[in-house]
Amino acid sequence: MAKTEKLFSKIVIIIFLVMIVLGFTLPGFLELGENKEVSAEQRICQADADCYLLCDDIPVVALCSKNLCQQNSCGEKSYYEYNVTPISFSLQIEVVNLVKSNESKLNGSKLYESKKVDLENMVNSNDIFVKFSDDKVNLYSSGLSLNDVLEKLGMSMTNKCLVINDEQYCEDDEKELSLIVNDKESYSYGQYLPKEGDTVKIAFNEKLSKEPVEELVEELSN
């Protein structure tokens, strides 16, 4: 009788342990199964229009970023929801280029010419989340950074370089890159998140000469 009770208690303990193990592992298997249902093959794209989905007979737009659609199935969560009401701000980009002239060659000086980049002529009409009209930019999703906007123009920006169609404008001893937001310098660069009504300017210009200031300090000290 005692042996039977011990055997029964062992069986109960084993069953209890099995239930505990299943309690921890079964939800994980179920979660994996759910993820398999919503996952889809990554789609390559050139513009937002390449990323359309048809969900319950309703067209759904998805963002194209870095040549990949950011939503690939109806069950997949989108981090860039399309908003009918856009975030509007102004954007200007100015860069300097070296001017080659006979005068500069003779005296050994360098002449630079500043020009404004024509943004509207660089856009892809098949992009949906970012629209341009002269200096005005409309963003149709929150969370888009300045680099997301620049990407639609074939550009990118770091704290040292501005890239326009594979041409690099990088800081050196004579030139500097700056981001001006609402008349104040910002150091967020490409990570900056534009807000409604912002005035944004990216400038790649000559560095201001400090020689006159230094000369004035010397005169005052003497």
- Judged against a pLDDT cut of 50, whether residue 102 lies above it is answered with no
- Look at residue 20 and tell me if it is in a domain: yes
Q: What is the pTM of this model?
A: 0.71
Rounded to an integer, what distance in angstroms lies between the CA atom of residue 56 and that of residue 54? 7
Same domain, 162 and 199: yes
* Identity at 55, one-letter amino acid code: C
Same domain, 73 and 156: no
> Which tens digit of pLDDT belongs to each residue from 148-162?
999 999 999 999 999
Question: For the chain, what is the total number of helices (H) and then of strands (E)?
Answer: 4, 14
- For residue 98, what pLDDT band results from cuts at 50, 70 and 90? low
- Look at residue 193 and tell me if it is in a domain: yes
Same domain, 103 and 184: yes
Give me the domain span that covers residue 28: 1-38
- In the chain, how many domains are there? 3
Percent of the chain with pLDDT over 90: 60
- Look at residue 178 and tell me if it is in a domain: yes
